């Protein structure tokens, strides 16, 4: 009620007039009433009424916030947060080593950034995640849908078909081994066609389309409430050219990061971004660092860097609030992202599509 | 999409006039401003500005398609998805050949045959679909002056003697290969920007740029400070236009690159840092 007029979300011209007329707090405005206001400032009665409604809404909002009401406020105790986090699922990557260094998989409500040189597997991982987010809950998945925003044009439908087919096959094998009713029911809706229909694809050609799409995302997500994953493949690409003014770029990127954090929290979905690497010319040598600069490094909560070591692909967890820094190896097979097969494990002939993860899983679930 | 004017985004006339006083005429200008700036410039309240933002965003945002729709569309027309190179083992490894609708890069040390490969692909692209070609014209941007028309005719005559038996078939083929000699980065970029109209008017089905690396390496010395950013700028700009052309017209785009030895990080030969292949931009 004591809120100053300058802080109210009114049109600037209106605010200027109110200040000139000597109004200082919201309470004064509400006391004057629409007719009085219109006479004093010289605006129509309808405009005055509208303005007062805005003021009232703001003050009511303030009141509930200060009184500690729920709803618009985003506060809760750490205990509530703990319970929420524990019941939250993870989006697995099908590479158990990678899942374990991430603490279970890609977390919901957090922004995960995947950086790497070209060809190392960033888009493959994104496509794998877009399929894995749809795994039904009875198989330990999140049963959500995915939004895929592509700025580089590297999304290959045929590849997603392969990955999805392998995932469905894997679930079928588990269901056969376990013979549980809920598995069978879940499998009825977990088909290739369904998986593909629940990946919503947007192709953004430049940063304007990307900005526009992110502004429209909250609306899209409230219409499609089952979406649990938003992938932006190539956040760096549209921002790396045509920007003479780097401060504008930083501002746009920060705005984008803010909106994505809000989206991740409000809709309980994971946001995955992929970034490119750039060379930083140091004193005597040049190193590869993630692109978009230092300030962008603060945007993501979890940072994963994929790189090569001779011919082995490695993933390093570079930044995480809950897991420690570690590196693990992975490989990309025709079925998607998988563990590197340890030499000791013998597996059956190449006819069936077994992957190294299958055996450990059925063993522990049989218990 | 970015250059779409606000008037076409269905903003009211007076709003457009008011914004144009601040030099905000396209959707791009509008979306680059923060909420406070927008409030100041439009003279509207916070909630009104958010509604305007949604309106403008809807005008430029891309259309949604599900992966299933994409798959159905692809399966309707499978044969036009690749340009077969007629080298069976290579086609097998590439799962069909050079893919249409995306950029392909060919890299090798000098003398391995990149330009020869490009010349052969130009011949293949002009062949009718029944013979595995694309039945269209070719745009060949040559930065090294390595293209030889005599070699082109030799390859065509020897590879497909029955088809190119008559002189007029050969002439027809050579007429449909449009060669552009560009010697600086700037002219290459200008040429790439102007390609859209040429593709439509000449019914082009293949774009070859031979080679990006030579013209970039001539002009940008990475040891100098500012050059890295400019080079990356040039490459990404070229890349995004080429990707747009490839996707829009569903044609293959081929770029050739050079190899250099990288002495800084360990032994072995790596593709030139300049080029698309590597980190900086094009290869994404």
Residue A347: pLDDT over 80: no
Interface of B with A in 71-100 (CB under 8 A): 71, 74
| Segment among A232-246, B78-92, B172-186, B269-283 with least mean pLDDT | B269-283
Residues in chain B closer than 8 A to A157 (CB atoms): 67, 70-71, 74
Q: Give the integer Cα–Cα distance in Å for A163 and A332.
A: 11
The pLDDT tens digits of the residues spanning B173-216 come to 889 999 999 888 889 989 998 898 889 888 999 999 988 888 88
Identity of the residue in A154, A216, A281 whose CB atom sits nearest the CB atom of B58: A216
Residue B276: pLDDT over 50: no
| Segment among A196-205, A304-313, B18-27, B274-283 with least mean pLDDT | B274-283
Question: In the sheet that A145-150 helps form, which strands lie side by side, from edge to edge?
Answer: A336-339, A327-333, A312-319, A302-309, A111-116, A270-275, A227-233, A145-150, A199-203, B65-66
Task: Tell me the angle at which helices B149-159 and B114-126 cross, rounded to the nearest 10 degrees.
Answer: 60
Residue B62: pLDDT over 50: yes
Query: What percent of chain B lies above the pLDDT cut of 90?
Result: 12
Q: Among all chains, which residue has been given the structure tokens 């998805």?
A: B81
pLDDT, average across residues A244-260:
87
pLDDT, average across residues A344-359:
40
CATH homologous superfamily of B73-276: P-loop containing nucleotide triphosphate hydrolases (3.40.50.300)
Does the distance separating the beta carbons of A241 and B74 come in below 8 Å? no
pLDDT, average across residues A308-331:
87
Contact at 8 Å (CB) between A337 and A125? yes
Nearest to A305 by CA among A264, A276, A331, A332: A276
For residue A165, name the pLDDT band (cuts at 50, 70, 90). Answer: very high
Does the distance separating the beta carbons of B34 and A255 come in below 8 Å? yes
Domain with CATH 1.10.150 in chain B: 6-60
Which of A201, A289, A290 is the best residue to mutate to test the B interface, defined by the most B CB atoms within 10 Å of its own CB?
A201
Does the distance separating the beta carbons of B74 and A157 come in below 8 Å? yes
Please check whether residue A215 touches B, CB under 8 A.
Answer: yes
The pLDDT tens digits of the residues spanning A68-118 come to 444 445 678 888 888 887 777 788 888 888 888 988 889 888 899 999 988
For residue B16, name the pLDDT band (cuts at 50, 70, 90). Answer: confident
pLDDT, average across residues A309-332:
88
The pLDDT tens digits of the residues spanning A194-248 come to 999 999 999 988 888 999 999 999 999 999 999 999 999 988 888 877 777 788 8
Query: Can you give the pLDDT at residue B279?
Result: 31
| Segment among A99-103, A119-123, A276-280, B12-16 with least mean pLDDT | A276-280
Please check whether residue B39 touches A, CB under 8 A.
Answer: yes
Please check whether residue B197 touches A, CB under 8 A.
Answer: no
Alpha carbon distances (Å) from B157 to A339, B93, B140, B153? 51, 27, 20, 6
pLDDT, average across residues A184-199:
86
Query: Can you give the pLDDT at residue B177?
Result: 92
Q: Give the integer Cα–Cα distance in Å for B57 and B251.
A: 30
Query: Can you give the pLDDT at residue A359?
Result: 39
Domain with CATH 3.40.50.300 in chain B: 73-276
Does the distance separating the beta carbons of B66 and A154 come in below 8 Å? no
Residues in chain B closer than 8 A to A10 (CB atoms): 45-46
pLDDT, average across residues B87-113:
87
For residue A147, name the pLDDT band (cuts at 50, 70, 90). Answer: very high
Q: Give the integer Cα–Cα distance in Å for B213 and A87.
A: 53
Query: Can you give the pLDDT at residue A10?
Result: 84
Q: Look over chain A and give the mean of its residue pLDDT values, rounded to a whole number.
A: 82
Residue B282: pLDDT over 70: no
The pLDDT tens digits of the residues spanning B215-269 come to 888 787 766 667 777 787 888 888 888 988 888 888 999 998 887 665 544 434 4
Residues in chain B closer than 8 A to A251 (CB atoms): 34
| Segment among A41-45, A160-164, B14-18, B80-84 with least mean pLDDT | B80-84
Does the distance separating the beta carbons of A255 and B64 come in below 8 Å? no
Distance from CA of B160 to the nearest CA of A (A): 33
Q: Which residue of A has its CA nearest to B225?
A: A281
Q: Which domains are assigned to chain A?
A: 5-64 (1.10.150), 82-339 (3.40.50.300)
Among the CATH numbers 3.40.140, 1.20.950, 1.10.150, 1.20.1080, which is that of B6-60?
Answer: 1.10.150
Query: Can you give the pLDDT at residue A342?
Result: 66
For residue B18, name the pLDDT band (cuts at 50, 70, 90). Answer: confident
ipTM of the complex: 0.76
Three-state SS annotation for chain A: CCCEHHHCCCCHHHHHHHHHHCCCEHHHHHHHHHHHHHHHHCCCHHHHHHHHHHHHHHHHHHHHHHCCCCCCCCCCCHHHHHHHHHHCCEECCCCHHHHHHHCCCEECCCEEEEEECCCCCHHHHHHHHHHHCCCCHHHCCCCCEEEEEECCCCCCHHHHHHHHHHHHHHHHHHHHHHCCHHHHHHHHHCCHHHHHHCEEEEECCCHHHHHHHHHHHHHHHHHCCCEEEEEEECCCHHHCCCCCCHHHHHHHHHHHHHHHHHHHHHCCCEEEEEECEEEEECCCCEEEEECCCCHHHHCCCEEEEEEEECCEEEEEEEECCCCCCCEEEEEEECCEEEECCCCCCCCCCCCCCCCCCHHHHHHHHHC
Query: Can you give the pLDDT at residue A214?
Result: 93
């Amino acid at each position: 009620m004591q809120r100053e007029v300058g802080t109210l979300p009114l049109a600037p011209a209106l605010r200027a007039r109110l200040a000139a007329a000597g109004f200082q707090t919201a309470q004064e405005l509400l006391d004057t009433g629409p007719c009085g206001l219109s006479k004093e400032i010289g605006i129509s009665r309808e405009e005055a009424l509208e303005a007062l409604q805005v003021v009232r809404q703001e003050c009511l909002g303030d009141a509930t916030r200060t009184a500690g009401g729920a709803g618009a406020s985003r506060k809760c105790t750490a205990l509530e947060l703990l319970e929420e986090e524990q019941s939250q699922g993870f989006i697995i990557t099908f590479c158990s080593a990678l899942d374990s260094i991430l603490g279970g998989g890609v977390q919901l409500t957090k922004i995960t950034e995947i950086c790497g040189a070209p060809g190392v597997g960033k888009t493959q991982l994104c496509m794998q995640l877009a399929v894995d987010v749809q795994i039904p809950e009875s198989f330990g998945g999140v049963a959500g849908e995915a939004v895929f925003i592509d700025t580089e044009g590297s999304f290959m439908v045929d590849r997603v078909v392969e990955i999805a087919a392998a995932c469905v096959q894997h679930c079928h094998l588990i269901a056969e081994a376990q013979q549980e009713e809920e598995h069978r029911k879940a499998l009825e809706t977990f088909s290739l066609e369904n998986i593909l229909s629940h990946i919503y694809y947007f192709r953004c050609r430049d940063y304007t389309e990307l900005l526009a799409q992110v502004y429209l995302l909250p609306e899209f997500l409230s219409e499609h409430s089952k979406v649990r994953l938003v992938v932006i493949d190539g956040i760096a690409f549209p921002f790396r050219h045509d920007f003479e003014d780097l401060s504008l770029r930083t501002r746009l990127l920060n705005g984008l990061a803010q909106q994505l954090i809000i989206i991740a929290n409000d809709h309980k979905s994971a946001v995955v971004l992929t970034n490119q690497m750039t060379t930083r010319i140091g004193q005597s040598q040049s190193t590869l660092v993630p692109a978009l600069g230092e300030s962008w490094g603060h945007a993501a909560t979890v940072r994963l860097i994929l790189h090569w070591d001779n011919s082995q692909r490695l993933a390093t967890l570079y930044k995480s609030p809950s897991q420690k820094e570690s590196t693990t190896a992975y490989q990309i097979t025709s079925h998607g992202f998988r563990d590197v097969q340890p030499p000791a494990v013998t597996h059956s002939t190449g006819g069936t599509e077994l992957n190294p993860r299958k055996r450990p899983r059925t063993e522990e679930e049989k218990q | 999409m970015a250059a779409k004017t606000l008037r076409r985004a269905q903003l009211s006339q007076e709003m457009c006039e008011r914004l144009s006083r601040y030099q905000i005429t396209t959707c791009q200008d509008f979306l680059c401003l923060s909420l406070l700036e927008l409030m100041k410039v439009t003279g509207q309240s916070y909630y009104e500005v958010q509604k305007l933002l949604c309106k403008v965003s809807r005008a430029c945002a891309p259309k949604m398609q599900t992966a299933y729709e994409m798959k159905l569309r692809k399966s309707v027309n499978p044969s036009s998805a690749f340009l077969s190179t007629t080298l069976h083992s290579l086609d097998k490894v590439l799962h069909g050949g050079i893919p249409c609708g995306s950029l392909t890069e060919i890299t090798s040390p000098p003398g391995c045959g990149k330009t020869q490969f490009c010349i052969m692909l130009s011949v293949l692209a002009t062949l009718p679909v029944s013979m595995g070609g694309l039945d269209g014209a070719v745009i060949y941007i040559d930065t090294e002056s390595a293209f030889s028309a005599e070699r082109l005719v030799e390859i065509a005559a020897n590879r497909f003697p029955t088809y190119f038996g008559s002189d007029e078939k050969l002439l027809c083929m050579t007429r449909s290969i449009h060669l552009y000699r560009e010697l600086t980065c700037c002219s290459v970029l200008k040429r790439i920007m102007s390609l859209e109209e040429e593709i439509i008017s000449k019914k082009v089905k293949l774009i070859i740029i031979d080679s990006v690396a030579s013209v970039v390496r001539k002009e940008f010395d990475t040891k100098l400070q500012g050059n890295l950013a400019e080079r990356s700028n040039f490459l990404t700009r070229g890349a995004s236009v080429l990707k747009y052309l490839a996707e829009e017209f569903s044609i293959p785009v081929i770029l050739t690159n050079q190899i250099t030895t990288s002495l800084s990080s360990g032994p072995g030969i790596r593709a030139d840092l300049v080029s698309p292949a590597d980190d900086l931009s094009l290869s994404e």
